[in-house]
Each structure stands twice: as C-alpha cells, then as structure tokens.
Structure 1
C-alpha cells in the first residue's frame, strides 16, 4: 500500500470516513521537480504528480495493525539512515536509493529498509518492466530516498512541491518518497488485516509515479486493482492488489485517470 517531480499520495487512517485520498490521487499528475539534495543525483525519469494506496501480500503476509498505536503528529525533521545496503535487483539502469526514518519514531531503520528491499525485489514489482533495477545504499549519491516520517514532517516536505497531504497522505516529490507514519502503521480499512500488503502498495504506487506512471482506474468488476489506482478512494468493483505485475509478468493496469 497522488505516491513522489511527480507526486503521489496514499491516504492513511480512518478519519473522515476514509472517503478518498487527496493530494496523491486527487492531485494533478505532473511530476514535481526534485528538491535540493547535494548528495543525490538528479533522477532521470519524469512522472506525474499524484496521491496513492493498494493491497496484496508482501514480505510478512498477514501483519495486522496493533490494537493501539500512538502516532506522533510531528517530529524534528531529521533522519537516521539505515546502515548497510543491498545487492542490485532487476535489469536496466540501476537506481540507487536510501531508506531513512525520522528521528524520534519508534521504528527500526533496519527493519524498514529490509521491508522496502523485499518489496522492490518481488517478481511482481517494478523490476519486471525490464528497465528498472534497484540497489539500496547507506550513503553517497542516490536517485531517490524512501523516508518514513511523521504527518507534520510529510506535510512540510510535500508542501514545498505544492502538495497538500493534510496530515494523512504520502507523496512523491522529486527524489523524496515520503511515507506518512500513519499509513505505514495503520494502513486503510481495506488492508487493516494485512498492513504489510498495504506497505507494498505505498511503495509500489509512489515509486510508480517516480518511474513516470500516472493514475489508472479499475479495469473491470472482479479484476485486480492496478497498483497505480487510487484504491483509497474506492475499489469500484476491483479486488485488492498491491503489485504492478501479476505472477505471469503481465502489467496490471486500467483506463487512465487524470
């Protein structure tokens, strides 16, 4: 589970009756320009701006949200990067990425990094396009950075790219893939019993924007929802799915949505 240049959002919680994702999915589909980041390389792909959400099993299937989680509304805006790195996965141009967790959040940077690695290495993920390869690093030049942060910090970063995440959404702005802590921990009602799956949707949707993909709608009743569909706004007859490709390597998509 409008998400980051191009921007993408994935609504998180059950507030306001969970009637829709705003910024990512309701926002425009024009990729925002990267924010200043001296240590990173400028990402080559161009993508649309938008908000996000989607389901399907990821690394540890069946992980559900604890009965009570205290989510701080804001944090210091500083981060700790996960140490170590990963081997390259996929073919084509290698995109180097880093995983950061905002300071003060009770999450293990190593655990978050491991989960992101599993999502990006899954054969149903973006490596199946034959053009995208990923490698996690702990420092040096990066193409994009996955950051899990408090709602207030996500709002501040996304706001610089003109995105209103409203304390509830994720976004992809430039080379920053901003993951709202509320979404990471609580998912949405459709994925409440499989938070891990929703995390895969967040990463796949927002990274999809980074790679140049826009929003799509449901391709038909009973069919898998595309990863680039704003599932938080309603399934429209589709069944939950968090992966860009199916097990046969077929791209899961639907009609373009502006």
Structure 2
C-alpha cells in the first residue's frame, strides 16, 4: 500500500489537536464553564427541593414567571434554577419575609432574560449595557448574566455572586426599593449600582439588614 508523503501524514495527525485548541480559545470560558457546571447540577438535583429554615417568617408571598426576549443563548434551565436559589437564600429578600415562587405563567411579575439589544424595547431609559426594571418586568441583561461587569470582575468576585447581585438588585426595584449609595466603608447595599463600582465599600450581592427590613410587611 502506498503511503502519503510525510508532511501530509504529519498534518493529518495534528489537525484534530489544532481544531480542539481553536474551539477552546474561541469559547467564552468564564461563562461556559459556569453554565456547564450548573447545568450538570440542575440535571442531578432531586425533583423535590430541600426545605430551608428561615429566621424570619413569611409576611409577603410573591409569584413570578420567567421568559426571554431576543436571541438568548444562556441555558434557561440554569437561569431559572439560579434565580430561584437567589430568592430562596436566607440572606436575600427572604430575610425581609418575602417568599418568591415561580409559576408557569403570569404571576405578580415577569423575570426576563433579555438579549442586550432588546433592553431599550422595555423603556428608552434602559441601556443595552445594563439590566433594568420596567413595570412588571424584571429584566436581566444576558451580557451581564454571562460575563458580570468590568468593576465586579476587576475586584475578583465570582460570576455566581454577580448573578445573585443582579437578580436581587432588579427584583429590589420591583419590591419598591430605589438606588442608594455607600454608607462608610462596610458592605455595599444591594440597591447600590455595584455593577459600576462601589467606591469605598465592599462588593456585596445581598440586601443589608436595613434593606431587608424595608420590604417586610408587619
């Protein structure tokens, strides 16, 4: 049997390695690894979630549905799971007695994962760079969901932490909370625009105690 010239044989041998390396360097690793990990976790999770113990009793029950707008490539199973994990976390708005539960349609508000270019369609005041809340729509910008923000990343914070922050912040607007500023040098309030920086305060994805208390219905 005739053999191919040596340069051809060498090229055939290394071609698969070159293609694999190209796939690695052209993939957004930070977001893809995080999403893949959470996708596996979601697939392995039991159908009945564990019951958490909370120090604050429920004083306000809120329902929400989930949808998308525009071309969304982030795994929606991960988005739904992580948003609910944020809402269930004892350091989140649950600390203010607010119980948030997802329903298949309707609900009190709609949580939207939106392609960046669609943000102004909710309101001219919404930027393609950031997330937004308009009326019943709590809109998470897919760009931020997948890559966090430059200020957050520069501080060495995790993508998962940013996802807690952005869901808590925009939902906080729906709960009636306005933007606030840093007070001193401690943790930043969740309603501060931390995506753009925190000044002297530390990045923090959770409502401070006084923020949680502000949404509690007595």
TM-score bracket, shorter-length normalisation: 0.5 to 0.7
Question: Which of residues 158, 174, 196 is equivalent to 1:233?
Answer: 196
Could you tell me whether the CA contact under 8 Å between 1:99 and 1:146 is conserved in 2? yes
Could you tell me whether the CA contact under 8 Å between 1:170 and 1:180 is conserved in 2? yes
Number of residue equivalences: 164
In structure 2, what is the Cα distance between the partners aligned to 1:232 and 1:177?
16
Aligned pairs for 1:89-100 (under 5 A) are 91-100=58-67
1:180 equivalent to 2:141? Answer yes
Q: Tell me, which stretches of 5 or more residues in structure 1 are unaligned?
A: 1-64, 70-83, 254-258
> RMSD over aligned Cα, in angstroms?
2.7
> Which residue of the partner structure matches residue 135 of structure 1?
101
In structure 1, what is the Cα distance between the partners aligned to 2:49 and 2:121?
30
In structure 1, what is the Cα distance between the partners aligned to 2:187 and 2:65?
30
1:251 equivalent to 2:210? Answer yes
* Cα offsets for 1:27-52 (capped at 9, x unmatched): xxxxxxxxxxxxxxxxxxxxxxxxxx
State the SS of the aligned residue for 1:179: strand
Task: From the two aligned structures, give the one with the greater helix fraction.
Answer: 2
How far residue 67 of structure 1 moved from its aligned partner, in angstroms, is: 5.5
* Cα offsets for 1:110-166 (capped at 9, x unmatched): 211000000000111111112x21111112x3101111111121221233xxx241x
TM-score (norm 2): 0.67
Query: Which structure has the larger Rg?
Result: 2
Question: Which of residues 181, 193, 198 is equivalent to 1:217?
Answer: 181
> Which residue of the partner structure matches residue 150 of structure 1?
115
State the SS of the aligned residue for 2:90: coil
TM-score (norm 1): 0.57
1:219/1:112 CA distance change after superposition, 3 Å: same
How far residue 66 of structure 1 moved from its aligned partner, in angstroms, is: 2.4
Q: Tell me, which stretches of 5 or more residues in structure 2 are unaligned?
A: 1-27, 33-46, 213-218
1:214/1:228 CA distance change after superposition, 3 Å: same
> Which residue of the partner structure matches residue 61 of structure 1?
none
Could you tell me whether the CA contact under 8 Å between 1:158 and 1:172 is conserved in 2? no
Structure with higher RCO (Cα < 8 A, 6+ apart): 1
